[in-house]
Amino acid sequence: PREGSASILILLTDGDPTSGVTNPEIIQSNARRAIAEKFPLYCLGFGFDVKFEFLEKMSLENNGVA
């Protein structure tokens, strides 16, 4: 990253996995492994039925917020 900048990941989702890997625990494990504490993960939930608990857990496990 450039000096004075921050590298972050922002996930825009409703938090409802519908294709590919859909098991929340596996998704969380994959995210932790892929990020490997290199970046904080910020989850932004959209829609009327956002799965906030899932997004919050993913963010907090990866040094971010939901």
- Answer whether residue 25 is part of any domain: yes
Write out the residue range of the structural domain in which residue 34 sits.
Answer: 9-61
**What confidence tier does 32 reach under pLDDT thresholds 50, 70, 90?**
very high
Is the overall model pTM greater than 0.85, yes or no?
Answer: no
Confidence of residue 28 (pLDDT cuts 50, 70, 90): very high
In a domain, 4, yes or no: no
The terminus-to-terminus CA distance of the chain in angstroms comes to: 23
Considering the domain boundaries, does residue 29 fall inside one? yes
Q: Tell whether 50 is covered by a domain.
A: yes
Tell me the mean pLDDT in the region 17-21.
92
User: How many whole angstroms separate alpha carbon 66 and alpha carbon 10?
Assistant: 10
| 48 lies in some domain | yes
Q: Which amino acid is at 4?
A: G
pLDDT at 25 over 90: yes
Residue 3 falls within a domain, yes or no? no
54 is written with which tokens?
């899932």
| Number of compact structural domains in the chain | 1
